[in-house]
Amino acid sequence: MYSDKTIDYFQHPRNMGELPDANAMGEVGNPVCGDIMKMWLKIDKNGIIVDAKFKTFGCASAIASSSIATEMIIGKHYNDARKVSNQEIADALGGLPAHKIHCSVLASEAINQAIDNYLGIKPVKAEEGDYICKCKKITKDKIEEAIQHGAYTVKMIAEATGATTGECGGVRCTPEIEKILAKYTHKEKEQG
């Protein structure tokens, strides 16, 4: 179920703890599933991430994803760190079970939120009605972003965003995702 690398990063997390001299911090999570992730970054005057630490309240996949994500971004310019996708994090761990992909999504979001914090960009809070996947708090914008980056099936969107495509607050995610996909397919036919 879990790769040897995921187990190793869970049992022996790298860069765990707070970073007292951090100049950036991001916190993401989903109280419904219980995973909470905090990431601290130390970014130098040239925009290079010289150190990163994390604390995660969550499962083995969440801890492993946070840990490997910090290793992946140390030494990178923050613009390059923003490009680290949840799929790259999952792949670096040797893959994650489908129902644990949301852990790599949280790690990617923690990186981006910390960088936003560094740049002074305030997070935009989504309204409850804006969520397509309520239990994982995945918005329409996140679904559309995944489509624009090449996800063209419900499964691919679930892997890219962490959407569970199951029962969410009494509303099924899959039909909503299919509607968004259909709009993009229709637009492509009109343009093509």
Rounded Cα distance, 63 and 89, in Å = 12
Active site residue 33: yes
Secondary structure letter of residue 153 according to DSSP: S
Please check whether residue 176 is in contact with residue 134, taking contact to mean a CB–CB distance below 8 angstroms.
no
Secondary structure letter of residue 16 according to DSSP: B
Active site residue 133: no
Q: Which of 103, 133, 135, 173 is catalytic?
A: 103
Rounded Cα distance, 58 and 61, in Å = 8
Query: Hey, which residues does 57 pair with through a beta bridge?
Result: 36
- Determine the distance from the C-alpha atom of residue 5 to the mean position of all C-alpha atoms in its chain, rounded to a whole number: 19
3-class secondary-structure state, position 113: helix
Q: Which of 33, 133, 168, 173 is catalytic?
A: 33
* Catalytic residue set: 33, 103
